[in-house]
Structure 1
Amino acid sequence: MERRTFLRAAAIGGSSAVLGGTLWRGAAYAAPAQPGTGPYGALGAADANGIRLPTGFTSRILARSGQTLSGTSYTWHNAPDGGACYADGTGWIYVSNSEINPSGGASAVKFSATGAITGAYRILSSTRQNCAGGKTPWNTWLSCEEVDRGYVYETDPWGTQSAIRRDAMGRFKHEAAAADPVRQVIYLTEDETNGCFYRFRPTTWGDLSAGTLEVLVAGTATSGPVTWSRVPDPTGASATRNQVSGAKHFNGGEGCYYANDTCWFTTKGDNRVWQYNASAQTIELAYDDSLVTSGTAPLTGVDNVTGSSSGDLFVAEDGGSMEICLITPDDIVTPFLRIDGQSASEITGPAFSPDGTRLYFSSQRGTSGSSSGGITYEVRGPFRS
């Protein structure tokens, strides 16, 4: 991101802390994003699907939990959660987790070049509470179990290869994953009130069967340099988050997204978006609702996150105002869309089609407030590139 310069310590009232003998100096870090006018303008009235969008954007409902997808014989899963898109010839595929326990798993929907649904099918079954996950550079989907000592499963979006449990990636309350092809690691979040931020180093890039699980080590400050330390026992017989002295704890790790030497990840317990600068090995806050300096914070219930080719982050809310908010490269945070009449739900699985013209996401519990009431949507419009 093109970040404004600011002395972070002054913004958060923090003081320098010691990290393994390294001083967390009051170096220049960017100020967290503040409310402002976004690139798409104000939200309009709710459309027929109950979604408020900027001018020029439209929505459609793709699927409802427990109902057959149009043009297929496939019944959509309950509690749709994390998702991603994959190019498929002239069309594409959207995959979606099912956050129920037991039976979780994940499904996929195939689209033609025109966006018509051409098929739907299971890609993972008989797992537990599959929450978020992440796309790999070799076009697999990492589906993460959000349960104590949960696993990561590597799945095939095309449904032709069997899913594989990736034990080496650790057993903990997994949330999301993001691949960094430059450093050849996978970043992982942990949905615990004192969870950690991890990275997995495969022995061979592209093969997740073996490797080293590491945890981020830092002081208590919200910005500064960090290091990584190996987790001695990834099997989680002893909680992975407690195995390394000095591991930094985060309040409810959620979404995770990588681009351009940066991994953004969110923490729902304190409504923060964190920014790990991989080349410099530092962290800072990209957004914190308690640091909004004027007006009401537009983004609360911080949860899933994705990004567009323009450098905009799209952050989904669990509760809040049931919005997907934008954080722009010039540090403006603003609502992009809002779902009306679904306050007992959360927005999950935001992901862009390969050409960047369609945004997919779900309302996990829809209008019913139940996992059986999930609704999956598509929004089309003039997304900037």
Structure 2
Amino acid sequence: MSISRRSFFVLAGASTVGTILAAPLKELYARQARGESIKGIGYGTLQPDPNGLLDLPVGFQYRAFSRTGDMMSDGKPVPGDHDGMAAFPGARGTTILVRNHELSPDEVTKPKVEASEEKQYDTLCRGGTTTLIVGPNRELIKDFASLAGTYRNCAGGPTPWGSWISCEENTSTPADNQPGAATNVSKLHGYNFEVPSSATEPVNPIPLVAMGRFNHEAIAVDPKTGIVYQTEDRGDGLFYRFIPKLPGNLQAGGVLEALKIKDMPQAITKTNFPVGQPMAVEWVRIDDVNPVKDTVRVEGFAKGAAQFSRGEGIWYGNGEFYFCSTDGGEAELGQVWRYVPDNSRYGGTIELFVEPNEQNALDGPDNIVISPLGDLFICEDGEGEQFVVGITPQGELYDFARNAINDSEFAGACFSPDGRTMFVNIQDPGITFAIWGPWRKFGK
């Protein structure tokens, strides 16, 4: 069972408590350890969609919109490769979606994120974000480009002050260019970019350099302190925190640090760590946050920081952070780690929360979101059929939605502010769905 082969824990809201996430994962693991069935019926058998798009349980409906190539309100085509996404409250009961597009420079057959030249970070790159305004009846009111000229915008995370941090999952530089290569770039990449949910046009693409130049995956913000925690999608990646000079103003700069397990310098956490044993931590400062070469993790490790194999999703709740090592564990099926900061902000504890090391019960879980009723919803990104899978607080797995088009991944699952609608993407051909129906709380 792989709780997290490629997970993205999405911030469900500052009021969501950490135990909501912890309970389903703990119970799922405990049920399997006891030899009990972990498969449940959830909302019931999925019904074949006559339109061949999305199979759902009885009583659930969907609306599909913002498909790749559709014309947006700004007169530009919807870009391809829909990925990470978050939902924010808008005016008059609307929902604002800010959505990543994981496009590389050489993906020339798919529409790119278009903007005027001065609003593109790198005119050779095709990625970025789009913003969608969705009405109370789940109708698309408006959509437009909101960040342009970036490279492989895969995940990121929402902030408590109402913005989306879009992360570049690539560290290309002009020094890597080859004559005539489709992957050439004109600027350094590997940065975070901030997109306010209130933006009405492409933002000025300002890289948040002080947060580090590395293979960013996802972020989560501690609303009590404004500290931003960051994962790095590399086999030898580190776990970082960014302490801003001015909480809520990331452009003002700050300090970048990497986690070190106390009395265990240069720990390799992929294997041979006990589950459920908190370990004291300290933090080492990264001095060269913007190296020309991709060496932020090299500096941190040399100073004793711990390696986490392919850090991906991260989620915050009730003063705790959960993040994924996507191929960690003896069987390389994934780990979930829990970091709990202390009141001094200088230390805290880290513990290996889940490491199943058993046959997959899920096929490449990716984005994860907490529903308002306490279930986890997991977007699959594996081989063959792709599902959105639910996990009840009692630890039962159930299929909630199936991609009836092809074998492309689900991504960007999130809930509207009123909790009545799930939004989710199918990456290719690139479609956003609004899903609603008889949501309910599962009990014992």
TM-score calculated relative to the size of structure 2? 0.71
Partner of 1:135: 158
Partner of 1:329: 393
Partner of 1:83: 85
Of 375-384 and 262-271, the range deviating more from structure 2: 262-271
Contact 2:286 2:300 in 1 (8 A): yes
1:151-230 equivalences under 5 Å are 151-160=191-200, 162-209=204-251, 210-218=253-261, 219=267, 220=269, 221=273, 223=275, 224-229=278-283, 230=285
Q: Render the CA deviation track for 1:160-186: whole Å, top value 9, x for unaligned.
A: 453432111110011111112134321
Aligned mates of 1:232, 1:204 — CA distance in 2: 19
Q: Render the CA deviation track for 1:268-299: whole Å, top value 9, x for unaligned.
A: 434435142425623333464x33xxxx6331
SS in structure 2 opposite 1:165? coil
Partner of 2:137: 114
The one of 71, 76, 95 equivalent to 2:98 is 95
1:1-385 equivalences under 5 Å are 1=19, 31=29, 34=32, 35-37=38-40, 39-46=42-49, 48-68=51-71, 73-89=75-91, 90-101=93-104, 102-148=125-171, 150-160=190-200, 162-209=204-251, 210-218=253-261, 219=267, 220=269, 221=273, 223=275, 224-229=278-283, 230-236=285-291, 237=293, 239-245=295-301, 246-269=304-327, 270-272=332-334, 274-279=336-341, 281-286=349-354, 288=356, 290-291=357-358, 297-320=360-383, 321-343=385-407, 345-365=408-428, 373-384=429-440
Aligned mates of 1:316, 1:204 — CA distance in 2: 35
Residues 130/67 of structure 1: CA separation in 2 closer, same or farther (3 Å cut): same
Amino acid corresponding to residue 437 of structure 2 in structure 1: G
Residues 45/123 of structure 1: CA separation in 2 closer, same or farther (3 Å cut): same
Aligned mates of 1:383, 1:30 — CA distance in 2: 21
Aligned mates of 2:376, 2:137 — CA distance in 1: 26
Amino acid corresponding to residue 393 of structure 2 in structure 1: P
Cα deviation for residue 311 of structure 1 reads 3.0
Aligned mates of 2:102, 2:424 — CA distance in 1: 14
Aligned mates of 1:226, 1:42 — CA distance in 2: 46
SS in structure 2 opposite 1:329? coil
Of 57-66 and 161-170, the range deviating more from structure 2: 161-170
Residues 359/74 of structure 1: CA separation in 2 closer, same or farther (3 Å cut): farther
Amino acid corresponding to residue 327 of structure 1 in structure 2: I
Contact 1:273 1:287 in 2 (8 A): yes
Aligned mates of 2:233, 2:145 — CA distance in 1: 25
Residues 47/157 of structure 1: CA separation in 2 closer, same or farther (3 Å cut): farther
SS in structure 2 opposite 1:242? helix
SS in structure 1 opposite 2:210? helix
**Same amino acid, percent of matched pairs:** 32
Cα deviation for residue 234 of structure 1 reads 1.7
Residues 176/129 of structure 1: CA separation in 2 closer, same or farther (3 Å cut): same
SS in structure 2 opposite 1:141? strand
Aligned mates of 1:214, 1:310 — CA distance in 2: 35
Residues 311/147 of structure 1: CA separation in 2 closer, same or farther (3 Å cut): same
Aligned mates of 1:100, 1:333 — CA distance in 2: 32
Aligned mates of 1:93, 1:113 — CA distance in 2: 11
Amino acid corresponding to residue 53 of structure 1 in structure 2: L
Amino acid corresponding to residue 145 of structure 2 in structure 1: R
Q: Render the CA deviation track for 1:11-70: whole Å, top value 9, x for unaligned.
A: xxxxxxxxxxxxxxxxxx99467423264344333452432222322222112111225x
TM-score calculated relative to the size of structure 1? 0.81
Larger fraction in strand: 1
Aligned mates of 2:418, 2:197 — CA distance in 1: 18
Residues 331/136 of structure 1: CA separation in 2 closer, same or farther (3 Å cut): same
Q: Structure 1: state its 5+ residue gaps.
A: 9-28, 366-372
Higher relative contact order structure (alpha carbons within 8 Å, sequence separation ≥ 6) = 2
Aligned mates of 1:334, 1:249 — CA distance in 2: 33
Q: Render the CA deviation track for 1:189-210: whole Å, top value 9, x for unaligned.
A: 2111222222212122111121
